[in-house]
Structure 1
């Protein structure tokens, strides 16, 4: 095959087979005018084949290639798509990748063993639409030069060891639709965005399992226009040469979307350290399909504005410190199939009707003040195990009366016991004397009478 059509061969497809290797390693691909090279979904091992400079599309995902990325890749000035995902490649991501970004539109390096840092320099005029570096061992900061990739739609760096503050500056990317930073070391407070940082086209924002903290400012969500739109104009999937994909955690279960419908809207801020009130403005994001704020330290009430989220299918507010009642308006959410508020401080009746009739006990557990179906506690039942209000002075009158009443009972019981013992002793003693005098005398007379009768008989 190496000797056939060295100059004329343009497309080489051997994907979806059981091929295990190449004759020479490392292999230099001999076809000088090759446009696309595709070995996806095989069993290839060894080093990556070294492509010619003419190549525009390089696909070798889902194999077992090992080693590092060859520096020869830096000469590929025409490269548009580089997909090395799902292999066993290691070492650092060559810094020249950032310089190739003027021609590259898709970079897929996920699910390898790349270490070190993300290339710091991404060229001005960067044409990348998709960057997926997820599931590696990358650390350090997220390079701010990524803001040069003004056409970027998809940024996925989850499951690495990135240690950085909130990358609010990504809000300048007007085409950014999917931002997935979950399972890293992002920390600190999320800043209230200025007019230049809008995230106006953001459809999916996944910050799950980081160390972000502080209050969520209402200003952060003000210009999230794409999440305010209901439905998609055209039913199509996100992506260009390759469909965008993502894994979303709902109710502790990871759901993989191999294709993302253009209308999908998701926010996952779970497993962080956010606190304070949940912003009412989230109720303006009427296109949301899933909202996960669980495992934080949110306080205050569940916003009644959530009733505006008519497209919502999953709402997880569990493992927080929320108080008050569940807004009865949430019954209007006809598409809600997953609702979880467990492990909070909620009180009052659980709303009834529509989708709320389908949620299990576990959706509401560990809220000692909640009552009504599906819980066994009936609204109106007293619960003496419920702790008293923590606020000083609240319901102080009844509480003091209750405590005073018990003191009186205890004192009365004590006094009554002593008085009863004394009186009982006196009564018992006197009764004993009276019994001896009365019944003892009668018994003595009875004996005398019996003796006299016996004497008379003998006579």
Structure 2
């Protein structure tokens, strides 16, 4: 089959290629997709003509073969969700400058991320879910076409790489679950207006939450320290090749959606717009500018040290479905305007220093009382504490009312008695004055 250039045998139960290791090496293949099977070693020798190779979701083990680096036409290499060990090959840069998509997600790769592994043509790089350590390679600064960078779930130990903000096309930066230190940089808004996803979850970040990091282009900001849950997101950029339409971006993004776990797949899946800065040591006021992000669906700022009042600008987030401000040091009232957010299905204000009545509204009143717990000054439904003093005030008022009723009863009984007594006394003084004097002296 000398004209066969495109083969897609993904999502089956195939275990390997029949024949020797080089069984397909002489074929004219340019695009080969064997993902989502049960392929095992040996790793196949690929044709020199290969441009696209996807072997994700299989059972390949051992080290990533360096023979891949000899594929001078290779543009896309997807080896995620296998059992590869060892370090990332150092040859990607020196042997292949055309490589634009390199995804090695969820393997057992370890060691430092070598500078020599960075191809200057990279557009999408995903090495998340491994055991990589050390610093991020500074050679990434040369990848001027880089749009997507995911190094989550590793052991990188570095100061926050603010220099990445100089990459002109960077749209997605995922650094969660590592050991990055320092504060959230202020440079993303001013240096890079294209950045839309910034995930820094579960690191050692500290300091205030900078107002300057909130840009109207930022649709997902995640620096949470909670248990992971979320969705796999794939955009719909397509590449036309030999009459076939093939999605060339396989971007995996972890999001916290309403506190539940979900896995969503699909090339046309809409990206959730979220901000999650939970589980850090952020302090100061919650930025009013968050209210500018009108499309926001999830906002989680729990388990930090935020102080001040809940900004009323949150009422502008008319699409908001989940709001978690628990375990901070917030004070003041819950803004009544939040009661108008009709899509707000899940909220949590517990473990703060809030006070005053809980706003009325169908969505707020339907919450469990635990969503408002450990705020000694809060009152009103769904809490049992009634606003204005609660049951104690009610008992005082009831007792006072009972006393008033008692005095009224006495008055009702006393007035006729006095009237009758005066009437009888008047009659006695007129007709029998001696009887009146005897009665008067007997009482005296």
TM-score class, shorter: 0.7 to 0.9
Task: Show CA shifts across 1:312-345 (max 9, x none).
Answer: 2222211222221111122232222221122222
Q: 1:249 to 1:371 in 2, by over 3 A?
A: same
In the alignment, is residue 150 of structure 1 matched against residue 158 of structure 2? no
Contact kept in structure 2, 1:205 and 1:267, CA below 8 Å: no
Output the CA distance in 1 between the equivalents of 2:294 and 2:41: 50
The equivalent residue for 2:129 is 135
1:290 to 291, 298, 307: 298
User: Would the alpha carbon gap of residues 183 and 25 (structure 1) be closer, same or farther in structure 2, given more than 3 Å must change?
Assistant: farther
Pick closer, same or farther for the CA change 1:195–1:159 going to 2, 3 Å.
closer
- Of 78, 93, 97 in structure 1, the residue corresponding to residue 92 of structure 2 is 97
Q: 1:201/1:195 Cα in 2 relative to 1: closer, same or farther (>3 Å)?
A: closer
Q: Gaps (5+ residues) in structure 2? A: 221-233, 239-247, 393-444
Confirm or deny that 1:254 pairs with 2:247.
no
SS in 2 for 1:283: helix
Give the structure 2 partner of residue 11 of structure 1: 6
Cα deviation for residue 277 of structure 1 reads 1.6
- Give the corresponding residue for 1:212: 205
CA distance in 1, matches of 2:355, 2:95: 57
1:321 aligns to what? Answer: 329
Look up the SS of the partner of 1:329 in the other structure.
helix
Rg (Cα) greater in structure: 1
Superposed, 1:20-35 pairs within 5 Å as 20-23=15-18, 26-27=21-22, 29-35=24-30
Which portions of structure 1, spanning 4 or more consecutive aligned residues, are displaced by more than 6 angstroms?
none
Residue from 70, 82, 86 that aligns with 1:87: 82
Partner SS for 1:82: strand
CA positional deviation for 1:369:
1.7
The C-alpha deviation readout for 1:237-290, integer Å capped at 9, x for no partner, is 454424433221235433334347456322222212212222222222222222
Larger deviation, residues 180-189 vs 250-259: 250-259
1:382-401 to structure 2, matched below 5 A, reads none
Q: What whole-Å deviation, never above 9, does each CA across 1:60-88 have from its counterpart, x for those lacking one?
A: 11111001111111112211111111110
Other structure's SS at 1:331 match? helix
Any idea what the Cα deviations from partners look like across 1:121-150, whole Å, max 9, x if unmatched?
A: 5668x3333222111111112223323333
Q: Match for 1:160 among 134, 140, 154?
A: 154
- TM normalised by structure 2 equals 0.76
The structure 1 residue matched to 2:310, chosen from 302, 316, 323, is 302
Cα shift at 1:358? 2.8
What is the distance in 1 between the residues matched to 2:178 and 2:373?
30
What secondary structure sits across from 1:250 in the alignment? coil
